[in-house]
Amino acid sequence: MKWLISEAQGARIVVYQLEGSIFFGTADGLMKEIEKESSERQFIILDFKRVTEIDLTGAEILGQLNDQLVQQKKSLVLSYIEPINDYEHHRLSAFLNDVKILEKIGEDRLFHDTDRALEWAENRLLENDGLITSFAERRVEIKKMKIFQYLSDNEIDKISSLLTQQSYKADEIIFHEGDEGDTMYLVPRGCVSILFKLKKGKRRKRVASFGEGVFFGDMALLEEKPRSASAIADQETELFALTRKDYLQLLETEPQIASKIQLGIAKELSARLRSTSEELRALEM
């Protein structure tokens, strides 16, 4: 097994991108490497994307590593490992689940990809440093959402009566790629990831994340087409839902409110497009 190390958040987060087989010799070497390098680390992320297999001894050493880090008040995080029962598509996850390693590490430290693992670790550091409030305290009121920035308080009250509140647990699917789309969602609390299926259909690629105060699924208000991607709650999440039926009724009865919402959507989509353009430009430099 080989590994590549990368750092984040002033080296308090370290990512080990693993490759090959994990058995006694390679796992023991990795454990010694982490022990040597972990004095200033708070979160150690193991990226399993290129791991081909792991045996029982390698899994046990992984459990021992987790125990040591817990004693040091540090966290072991796994990416490309999921607590699911899809044995065919997630063979490594299934094996680690069978030998109780995933239970020991904890479901909240298992992530579909490294981007989400990094985001989770960075948020924990920011909370610990007092730079952001804890998840339990974070919630955006409807009137403070940018999509409604052009509405008066009276108009906010009218649109609020059309919104239905929904709650989702971590990793719960909000909608699947290919589902009929007739609802736009707003996020007052939590975080949602948008995922595309890759060619073989065995894995999904996260293409966007939406946190508090943001909307997604907006094309459902404008066109009657299937969902182009899936949406999944990254953590306990609250959503407000606005259906196409209610929005079309709003266009008839309150066209001024509907046009202001359209303006809010357009401004946010413009900002997202500009951000994407800047990221693509940076990749070309």
Q: Which position has the token pair 């490309």?
A: 80
* CA nearest to 162, candidates 27, 253, 79, 59: 253
Confidence tier at 66 by pLDDT (50, 70, 90): very high
Any idea what the CATH number is for the domain that residue 121 is in?
Answer: 3.30.750.24
Structural domain ending residue among the three candidates 105, 128, 151 = 128
Phi, psi of 209 (to 5 degrees): -130, 140
Total domains in the fold of the chain: 2
Give the pLDDT confidence of 150-188 residue by residue, as tens digits.
999 999 999 999 999 999 998 899 999 999 999 999 999
What pLDDT does residue 155 have?
95
Kindly state whether residues 148 and 78 are assigned to the same domain: no
Kindly state whether residues 123 and 142 are assigned to the same domain: no
Is the dihedral angle over the CA atoms 44, 48, 52, 54 positive or is it negative?
positive
Structural domain ending residue among the three candidates 95, 128, 161 = 128
Kindly state whether residues 278 and 147 are assigned to the same domain: yes
- Highest mean pLDDT (candidates 31-45, 77-91, 129-143): 31-45
| b (16+ CB within 10 A) / e for 155-182 | bbeebeebbeeeebeebeebbeeeeebe
Confidence tier at 117 by pLDDT (50, 70, 90): confident
| b (16+ CB within 10 A) / e for 100-116 | ebbeebeeebbbbbbeb
Kindly state whether residues 150 and 82 are assigned to the same domain: no
Structural domain boundaries enclosing 106:
2-128
Kindly state whether residues 144 and 279 are assigned to the same domain: yes
Kindly state whether residues 114 and 147 are assigned to the same domain: no
Kindly state whether residues 163 and 124 are assigned to the same domain: no
- More confident position, 1 or 179: 179
What pLDDT does residue 87 have?
47
* CA nearest to 55, candidates 26, 13, 12, 84: 26
- Per the prediction, the chain carries an average pLDDT of 85
What global pTM score does this model have? 0.60
Three-state SS letters, 89-107:
CCHHHHHHHHCCHHHHHCH
Kindly state whether residues 141 and 276 are assigned to the same domain: yes
Structural domain ending residue among the three candidates 128, 160, 181 = 128
* CA nearest to 162, candidates 219, 242, 217, 220: 242
